Structure 1
C-alpha cells in the first residue's frame, strides 16, 4: 500500500486529491490486488477518470494488461488524452469502430462487410515483409503492416494486440475479443459509463431487417447499371416497371446463373448489363414477398415461429459488392440482410418481433455474454449513475463483487429536488396533458432563468411547445427564447443546439434521450423540470424479460427489476444535468404526480436517490424564487 501511495503522489497531475477520489483509487487498488470485481458509483465532480487511470497504470507498469471500455467516442478521446498526459512508458492503443475510419480501398467510410469480403485489398496487413511502396513493414505475430500505407483500422487492431493499455468501445471489444487477446489476455478491465454497458452489448447482439431499405438500394443499383437508353427514362418511382418491360422476354434465372464473380469484377458469357439487371429484378420480387410475409405478423408482438423465406440472394450480393467498389456508397445493405436474417431463429434467450416494417431480433439478457468477455480479468465498473448496485451486478454478469457508492463532493445546499404533490397524472394510459402544460408554464415564471424541460416523448414535447408558443408573450420572464430538440437530430446537431442554448439562454425543450451526457455548467442552466417519469413502453423485449423473471421472482419484484430500474436510472441521468461544477446551483422539479405518490419513496428505499422534498404547486412557486435568489 505504501508503494502505491507514493506512486499516487508522484503521478497525480494536480495539487490536491479530493477525498472521494482517493477513496476510489484505494478501493480499486485493493480490488485488483485481491482479484475481486468492483462496482463504483462516483457522481460528477469526484474525478473518476483519474481515479481509475492511476491504479491501472500502476499495475500495467508491473506487467498487468489493462483494457478500458467506454460507450462514446468523446469519452474514449478524453481517456486517451488523459493517459497521454500522465508520465509513463507503456504502449497505449486506441481503437474505434470500423465506421469511424476511412477505407483506403473505397476512399470513403469503412464498412465491416466490405472489409470482410475484400480479401485482396492491398492495404490489408499480410505475410509479405516489404510493402508495395518499397518500405519494410512492421511485424505483429505472423502479419506485417506498413505504418504509412496500411488500413488505419487494421493497423490499430494490430497495435492493440501488443499494447499494455487499450482504450476501446464496448461493442468493438465484443466483436474483436479473440483478436485483441491473441497474444496476451487482459488482466484488468475497466468499464467507464458502466450504466450503458447492458444496452451497448444488447445492441451489438441485436439484428434489424428492413425490406424498404433493401428496395431503395436495389433502385439505386438498377439506375447505376442500366444502359443509357433506360437510364434517361428512369427515376426512383418507375425503376422496376421499366425493368419489367426491358426484361420481359429474358430468362431471368438463366441470366442470374451466368454471373461469375472474380474479386470485385463481374464477368458474364451473356450481356453483363442484362445479367446484373435480371439479378436486381429477381431480388426485388423476393424482397417484396418477404415484406408481405413480415407484415402478416402482429406489430410489437413476439414471433414464436421460425421464419421461412427464400434467401437465395448470392447473385445480387455479388452485384452489390461490385457496386460498392465503384461508387461513393459504403453500406452493404443486401449482404448484411442476407447475413442477419439467416440467423433469426426462435430461441428462449432471444425475442423476435415486428416493429413497423422491420423485423427486430434482440437478446433478453446479456450477462452470460459479458461473463465471456470478462474472461479471467478483474473487472471494475464505474459510472456517475448506476442506481441499484446489486441489480447492476446481476444484469451485467459480475460475480465475486464489491461495491463502492461515493457521495457528490459538491455542496448539497446548492441544489433542491422537488416533487409536486399535486402534479399532473402522467400515466401512459391516463395522461393529463392540459394540466401538465399549465404547471410547466407557472414553474417557468417562478424560475425566470435558463431552464431545461425534459419530456418522455416527442408527442408530449410537441404538445407543450404549441401551448408555450401561444403563452410565451404573456409570461413574466426575462428571456423568452425557445430552443427545441427535434426528432432525427444527429449527435453533431444536438451538440450545436446545446451550445446555442448555453450562449443565448432561455428555455430548452428536449426528451430524456437528449439529456444523457449533456453538460451545461454554471448559470447557463439553473433549473431542470421533468415533465413525466420515463417508464419504458412495454416492448416485446420487456415483456419477455418479465416473463423469464416471473419464474424466479414475484410480479412486484419483477416490475422493479425491469421497468422501474430502467426508469430510475434514466431519471437520475435527467437530474444529473443540473450540477456539473462546484459553483453550480439550481432546482429540479418533478411534476409527474407518481413521483410524490410512491416512486420517490421507492427510489430512496432502493438506493437510487438520497434526498428530495415534496411540495404542492403553490408552495414550490413561492419557494423556488427565494432559493434561487440566494445564489444569483
Structure 2
C-alpha cells in the first residue's frame, strides 16, 4: 500500500532548507497584518493580466509514496510572451541590501510554485519573480528569472529527495508502529471492574467521531482505559495523533508511565511531553536572542540533525530527554520539542496547547480540522481553566507605571497611555460606593486606544531593546494584544466588568460560559474523551464543556469493596461563614476522635486558610501529642514534595496534615496503602462568594434556572469528592472519611453522592465516633 504524504510548498521548502539563528526578539505582531495588507495592495494595483491568490496542487507517485503538494501563489501574470509566478515578500530592510542571493528560501518557494503551475498547464518555460515590498517606505523591488520546465523539475526533485529521507523514515516507523498495535494486547492479566466497559466506550466514540464524557472513579485505571483503545484506533487509521491533555504535571507523569507500560508490552509508539518555555529554557531569561543565547545562535543549522537523532534513539520523549538532546546538539529545547511533536504519535501536554486561543499549537490546529484524538484528563478542571483561557483583563496602574517610564522617551506612546488611564478613570467613577461595576455593553471605547498603543509601540520596541522601560512596555503590548484577541469572541457568553483591586483597578472581559468556545476548540480534532473521577452531575459537565446532546456519557461505579470505606457525616455542625467562629472547638474535637481511632496519617481539608489556621490553634493546644503539618500559600515544588514525603507508610506516630479543599493536596496526589488512613472534610466546598461567581449564577439562572448549582454547588461538591477520593486508591486500601456540615444530609447534596457512599453513617454526637471506628478498624 502506498504511503500518502500531504505537505504544503512552504512547509516542504522551510523544513528542507531552513538554516541560521532562532530569533524571537520583538518584531511587532502587527507586522504580519501589515504584510498581508501589502500583499493585497500590490495585488489590487496590478493590471488585468494579474491573477492573485492562485491555488496549485500537484498529486503524483514517487519512490513508493503518493504525494500531494499544494499551496497558494501570490500572483500569476499572463504576459503576451511569458507566464510569471509572482512571489511577494515584505521586509523592513533597505531594498538596496536585497539582491538575487538575499534569501534562497524565497526562490525555492517560487520555483516550486512555478514547477507545479507549469506542469498543470503544460508549459515548457515559466518566469519566477520575487517582489520585495519595503514596509516603512512602501518602495518596491522586483527580481525576475526565467526557467525551463526541466530546470524546475530538477530543482523540485532535488528538494523532494532531501525530504524523502524523512518520508522513508516516517513510513518505516508507521509500518513498525501499526504492526505492533495489531499484535498489542491489554497489558494486564485481567480487566478491573468497569475498565473494559470504559475502553470499549472510548473506542466506539473514536470510531463514531463523537465526544465522550466519562465519570470513572479511582481504581478503574482511567489512563490505560483511554490510551489503549485510542492507540488501537490509530492502528486502524482513525487518527494520526493522540493529544493527552492535562491540567497538572503529576497527571502528565501518569500518562508517561502508561505509554511506558504499553511499550514494555511490545508497542512501538513515540510520545513527547511538552514543557512550558519558561520552565525548560536553559537561560535565566527565556528570550531567544542569538546574541545572548548559544542555543538560539545557529539553531536552524543543527535542529534537523537533532530531531533525527532523538527520533532514531528514543520513543518516550520526556522533558529530561529533550533537555539532554538539546544540550548535545546546542538547540533551543522548547522550539526543538515543538518540532519533535510533528513527528511523534502522541503529545502529552497542558490544556492550553489545544484550547487557549493565545497559545494553542498553530502548526497542528490552524489548517482546519485534523484527525486528532483529544484525551482530556481530570476534565472537571477544564471548566474554570476554560473561563480563564477565554477571559482577559487590564489594570489601570499598569498604564500609569508604563507612562512614567516612557514619557521622556516617546511622547506619542505616553499620550495614548494617558488616554487609556483617563478611560479607566471614567469607568472607575461608575462604581460609585461599590467595589465593582458590571458594564451594560462591551467596552468598545478602549479598543481603539489599545490598537493605537500597539501601532505606536511597535517601532519603539523594535529599536530600543536595552532602554529602561522596554520590558514594561513590551509586557503591556502583549497584554493589549491578548485583550483585543479575546474581544473578538465577545458575545452573550461574556460580561465586561470593572473592579477595585487593593489600590488598583481592573477592567475584565469575563467569559462566564466557556461551553461554545471549548466546543469549537474540540472540533480541531475528530474526537474528545473527557474523563475524571468527579464529573458530577455529568450532564452539567457535558453542558459547560461544550458537549452536545448526542455525545456519549457514562458513569462507572467504584471497583473497590465498599466495606473498605467508613464514611461518616457529622450533620450537627454548620460551617457556613456566619457560624464558623462557633465551630472551631467542635471541629477540633471531631478531628481528634477520628485520628485517635487508629495510628496513621490523616488529611483535614478546610474551605479557607483562615478557617484552617483558626482550628489548628485550638487543636495544637488541646491535643499536643499528634504531629502536625500544614499547607502554606504559594508553596514551591520542593515544599510540596516535602509535605507529601511526611506521609510515610511506616509511621511511628499519628500525623495530621491540614490543607485547603480544592488546593494542591486535595486532588491529583496518590497516597496509597498505609500512607493515608483517612480524610476529614470541613464544609461543602462552596467557592468563595465573589463577583464572578455571582455573574455565573445570574447568567445560568436566566439560561436554565440552575444558577446556584452551576456557580457554587456543583463546583463545591466536586472539590469534596476529590478530597474524599484521596483515601481509597487501590484494592487493598482501607480508610475513613468524615464529612462535617449539616448540608451533606440535604437531599440536594445526597443526589450528588457516588453510589459507593451509601449507606453512610450519620453522626449526631462526636462520642459515637469511637464505636463506629472500633468496629471498622477491627473488622
TM-score normalised by L of structure 2: 0.62
Q: Counterpart of 1:333? A: 475
Q: Deviations over 1:555-595 (max 9, x none)?
A: xx332233211111111111111111222222111111121
Q: Counterpart of 1:227? A: none
Q: Counterpart of 1:154? A: 335
**In structure 2, which of residues 591, 606, 609 is the aligned counterpart of residue 443 of structure 1?**
591
**In structure 1, which of residues 407, 411, 414 is the aligned counterpart of residue 564 of structure 2?**
414
Q: Counterpart of 1:95? A: 274
CA distance in 1, matches of 2:634, 2:582: 26
Q: Counterpart of 1:386? A: 535
Q: Counterpart of 1:165? A: 346
Give yes or no for contact 2:217–2:532 (8 Å, CA) kept in 1.
yes
**In structure 1, which of residues 352, 358, 364 is the aligned counterpart of residue 496 of structure 2?**
352
Task: Quickly say closer, same or farther: Cα 1:284–1:60, change in 2 above 3 A.
Answer: same
1:601: Cα distance to partner?
2.6
Q: Counterpart of 2:690? A: 539
CA distance in 1, matches of 2:394, 2:249: 26
Alignment of 1:487 with 2:668, yes or no, is no
Give yes or no for contact 2:302–2:331 (8 Å, CA) kept in 1.
no
Give yes or no for contact 1:123–1:150 (8 Å, CA) kept in 2.
yes
Give yes or no for contact 1:452–1:528 (8 Å, CA) kept in 2.
yes
Q: Counterpart of 1:35? A: 209
**In structure 2, which of residues 331, 342, 363 is the aligned counterpart of residue 179 of structure 1?**
363
Query: What is the RMSD computed on CA atoms of the aligned residues?
Result: 4.0
**In structure 1, which of residues 394, 398, 402 is the aligned counterpart of residue 552 of structure 2?**
402
Give yes or no for contact 2:206–2:526 (8 Å, CA) kept in 1.
no
Larger radius of gyration: 2
1:482: Cα distance to partner?
1.4
Alignment of 1:204 with 2:350, yes or no, is no
Q: Deviations over 1:144-187 (max 9, x none)?
A: x9993443322322333343322221111123254214578134
CA distance in 2, matches of 1:422, 1:136: 68
Task: Quickly say closer, same or farther: Cα 1:292–1:352, change in 2 above 3 A.
Answer: same
Q: Counterpart of 2:736? A: 587
CA distance in 2, matches of 1:620, 1:550: 41
CA distance in 2, matches of 1:134, 1:519: 38
Give yes or no for contact 2:391–2:486 (8 Å, CA) kept in 1.
no
CA distance in 2, matches of 1:536, 1:171: 23
CA distance in 2, matches of 1:439, 1:58: 51
Task: Quickly say closer, same or farther: Cα 1:206–1:70, change in 2 above 3 A.
Answer: same
Which moves more between the two structures, 308-317 or 617-626?
Answer: 308-317
Give yes or no for contact 2:375–2:528 (8 Å, CA) kept in 1.
yes
Give yes or no for contact 2:377–2:530 (8 Å, CA) kept in 1.
yes
1:626: Cα distance to partner?
0.9
CA distance in 2, matches of 1:462, 1:324: 47
Task: Quickly say closer, same or farther: Cα 1:73–1:461, change in 2 above 3 A.
Answer: same
1:551: Cα distance to partner?
2.8
Give yes or no for contact 1:301–1:540 (8 Å, CA) kept in 2.
no
Task: Quickly say closer, same or farther: Cα 1:391–1:324, change in 2 above 3 A.
Answer: farther
Q: Counterpart of 1:578? A: 727
3-state SS of 1:108 partner: coil
3-state SS of 1:176 partner: coil
1:412: Cα distance to partner?
0.9
1:465: Cα distance to partner?
2.0
CA distance in 2, matches of 1:410, 1:468: 33
1:491: Cα distance to partner?
4.2
Give yes or no for contact 2:682–2:739 (8 Å, CA) kept in 1.
yes
Give yes or no for contact 1:101–1:109 (8 Å, CA) kept in 2.
no
Q: Counterpart of 1:476? A: none
Q: Number of paired residues? A: 549
1:414: Cα distance to partner?
1.3
TM-score normalised by L of structure 1: 0.75
**In structure 2, which of residues 598, 606, 611 is the aligned counterpart of residue 455 of structure 1?**
606
CA distance in 2, matches of 1:566, 1:558: 12
Task: Quickly say closer, same or farther: Cα 1:341–1:25, change in 2 above 3 A.
Answer: closer
Task: Quickly say closer, same or farther: Cα 1:17–1:8, change in 2 above 3 A.
Answer: farther
Q: Counterpart of 2:680? A: 529
Gaps of 5+ in 1: 140-144, 223-251, 259-278, 474-478
Task: Quickly say closer, same or farther: Cα 1:516–1:118, change in 2 above 3 A.
Answer: farther
Q: Which has the higher contact order (CA 8 A, sep 6+)?
A: 1
Q: Counterpart of 2:244? A: 68
